Structure formats: C-alpha cells, structure tokens
Amino acid sequence: MAKSESIAVNRKSEIISAAIEVFAETGYFRATTAQVAQRANISQPYVFRFFSTKEELLLAALEASWTRVADAFRKVAESAAPERLETALTKAYEDILQSHRNEVFLQMQAQTIGEDVIREAMRNGFGEVRRIVLDSFCRAELPNAEERTMLFLARGMLCNVSAALGMPELMEK
C-alpha cells in the first residue's frame, strides 16, 4: 500500500470514529457532517471525499461497530473451551460495551431508523452475530443451542439498556 493510500485509509477510519461519537452523542438525525468534520479535525468537504452522504457515513459506522462485535465473538469461538464459551462471549461483549460504548449506543439508535438500507445493515449485523453465537454453541455441543443463543442475545440487549439508562441493577445476578 502506498503512503498516500495508507493516509487515506487512516483518515477514513478517523472520520468513521468521529461519526460514531457524534451520532451516538447527538443522534443521527440531529448530527451534521460539519460536526463530524470538526470532531475529526478536518474540513467538511473532506468528509464528502470519502462519504457522499451522511447516510453512507452512518452505514460505514454501523459496519465498523458490527465488525468489532463479530470479530471479538469469532476470536472467542475459536479459542474458548466449550465449558467456558458462554462466559467468554459474555466477557467479550462486556469489554466492547466498556471500551466502545458509543458503537453500542449507535447500534441502539439505528434500530429505530426506518430507512430500508439502515434496517438492512442492522439485520445483517445482528444476523451475523447471531450466526456466530449459534454456530459456536452448536460446535461446543451445548444443549438447547437455539434457546441459549436467544437468551444470550436477549441478555446482551438488556446489557445495552442497562448501560444506556445507567441502571446496573438490571444486570445484577
């Protein structure tokens, strides 16, 4: 990769990171590309060099957030012992929620956006995560893999609500 290509890739990643922060803090509909540019310390026209619309930027931000979860779960699925799989997946998600909270909040907001392309991105991301969890539970020969997958994902959603509302008691055992 040439140096200029590397700089462009880094700049694009910085714009996506800035967008995740701005969209999570402000909300997608209220956020502007000018705010994203300011957060990334670049000009607004430079944002449009990489993303022709705010929706395209949101899609890239969602893809980055879903990729993070999927990659973390794949890593756990490849390395965790069957008896520790569910606990290790839970820990991986808790780590993401702790270190990439804005990505999770962005996903939560995107669930309410009615545009077909956004809904499709959310279905694809959530569907991929579901497949990874279900496949890993099946490979580990955990009983009731389908039901355990549903409960695991439901607990993850409850973790999101707990974090968003500042209600840790929702997660107390």
**Domain spans, the chain:** 3-171
Inter-CA distances, 10 with 5, 13, 23, 87, 160, Å: 9, 5, 20, 34, 29
The whole-number average pLDDT for the span 147-170 is: 93
For residue 173, name the pLDDT band (cuts at 50, 70, 90).
low
Topology of the domain comprising 3-171: Tetracycline Repressor; domain 2 (1.10.357)
Q: What is the pLDDT of residues 75-109, one digit of tens each?
A: 999 999 999 999 999 999 999 999 999 999 999 99
pLDDT at residue number 170: 83
Which of 149, 7, 14 lies closest to 73 in space, CA to CA?
149
51: left (phi over 0), alpha (psi -120 to 50) or beta: beta
pLDDT at residue number 3: 65
Query: Given a cut of 80, is residue 2 above it in pLDDT?
Result: no
